[in-house]
Amino acid sequence: MDKLVINGGNRLSGTIPISGAKNSALTLIPCALLTDEPLTLRNLPRLADIDGFQHLMGQFGVSIAIQGKRPEDFGRVVTFEASRLTTSVAPYDLVRKMRASILVLGPMLVRAGEATVSLPGGCAIGNRPIDLHLKALEAMGAEIELAQGYVKAILPDGGLPGGDYDFPVVSVGATENALMAAVLANGTSRITNAAREPEIVDLCNLLLAMGAEIEGVGSSELTIHGVTRLNGATYKVMADRIEAGSYACAAAITGGQVTLAGAKAEEMMATLNALEDIGVEVSHDKHGVTVAANGPLKATNLTTAPYPGLATDMQAQLMSLLCKAEGNSVLKETIFENRYMHVPELNRMGADIETEGRTAIVKGPCDLTGAEVMATDLRASMSLIIAALAAEGETQVRRIYHLDRGYERLEEKLQLVGADIERVDD
């Protein structure tokens, strides 16, 4: 198993290319199940989660053709063709490692008439039930059964009639599943209190390119007029706003200046606003976002919230940055109840962080020092990398398979801007 060895203290400077968004790509790939024509996705990141999802699609009989195999390439072009499905079952062995696998439920249901999907796995960051996915599909007319660790969804005779569903709380994944089912329903479906994340907009734009009829894109109220069939398409995956925000924190904690090539400021304004509150200079144009830390960092209070609020996926990275800020910062996590598992590891590096329930208090500035630390989930892993870049001495980060799920060739990108980081055998 690999580990990352980081010698801190180098100021990051230069340009980092931002990859296609993992959270978007994992939603766009199952759209291939909605048509028997080819779906080509450009800017698909090279990640363990993407490879896992491709394996799952292959399980269904989807053919996959990959371009851009050169090892020096970031991203690649992949064509999925589901002209003939061989099964509608997503087995436990393929689903257990990746929560996003549940996103095949809606599209497989309307394409094959039924779908059987193992209950998903993913990062251990708290309770993430799929009941909202199931309730939304039931509201549209699907019949749902739960047995022996599997969800089975069945179309009624005559197909999915469509229906209305008002989400009691905002759910990104459930909104995505409902959308993919509704586009091939017989009637009109309305989703209220829908998630508004840029990844939802990316999904809507792909579905529109495939011939879907969707009103209210980008809003919390979506109206979907079902169509009889969808066509194939060629579509570019949006830039990863979480990756961009993560590297922004890495640059800032080292007092550096980095341009995040391809990042879209309008899709990550809550993160950029938080960075500015901390004292980081931010500028942007059509080519990307530039961050620079030229003065002392300032403590601030942050609360995660559904989009357009601060993404929960940025909480851990900003916490690491606040370890070097002057004063006490308060972070409140409102999305997941168990997302502070990185705190003990940061404290091993010299951070002074206290937690109580969903609140964390970061007392800064801290003198961070290198240590051996263990990654606990994807974004927690990145928080340890960020802290290590500013720590005195050597840090060894273990269990980095979490990082490989969500950051395309992380050490290479950090090396581009001057980080002393190396992947070695553990």
Q: What average pLDDT does this structure show over 376-384?
A: 92
When pLDDT is cut at 50, 70 and 90, the band that residue 243 belongs to is very high
Rounded alpha-carbon distances, angstroms, from residue 394 to 367, 387, 390: 14, 11, 10
Angle between helices 198-209 and 172-182 (to 10 degrees): 10
More confident residue, 7 or 377: 7
- Is the pTM higher than 0.85? The answer reads yes
Strands 164-166 vs 143-147: parallel, antiparallel or unpaired? unpaired
Question: What domains are there in the chain, each with its CATH number?
Answer: 2-18+239-425 (3.65.10.10), 22-226 (3.65.10.10)
When pLDDT is cut at 50, 70 and 90, the band that residue 257 belongs to is very high
Q: Is 308 exposed, middle or buried (0-12, 13-18, 19+ CB in 10 A)?
A: middle
d(CA 94, CA 59): 9
pLDDT at position 394 is: 98
Catalytic residue numbers read 123
Token couple for 99: 């929560």
d(CA 179, CA 133): 10
What is the DSSP annotation of 311-341?
A: -GGGHHHHHHHHTTSBEEEEEE--S-SS--T
d(CA 131, CA 70): 41
Question: Which of 2-6, 11-15, 237-241, 378-382 shows the lowest mean pLDDT across its residues?
Answer: 378-382
What is the DSSP-derived secondary structure letter of residue 237? Answer: P
At residue 17, φ and ψ (nearest 5 deg) are -75, 130
Rounded alpha-carbon distances, angstroms, from residue 118 to 56, 92, 99, 146, 176: 12, 5, 10, 10, 18
Residue (of 95, 123, 47) closest to 312 by Cα position: 123
| CB atoms closer than 10 angstroms to residue 131 | 11
d(CA 153, CA 335): 27
Instruction: Encode pLDDT of 90-132 as tens digits.
Output: 998 888 777 788 999 999 999 999 999 988 654 443 444 788 9
Instruction: Encode pLDDT of 303-337 as tens digits.
Output: 999 999 999 999 999 999 999 999 999 999 999 77
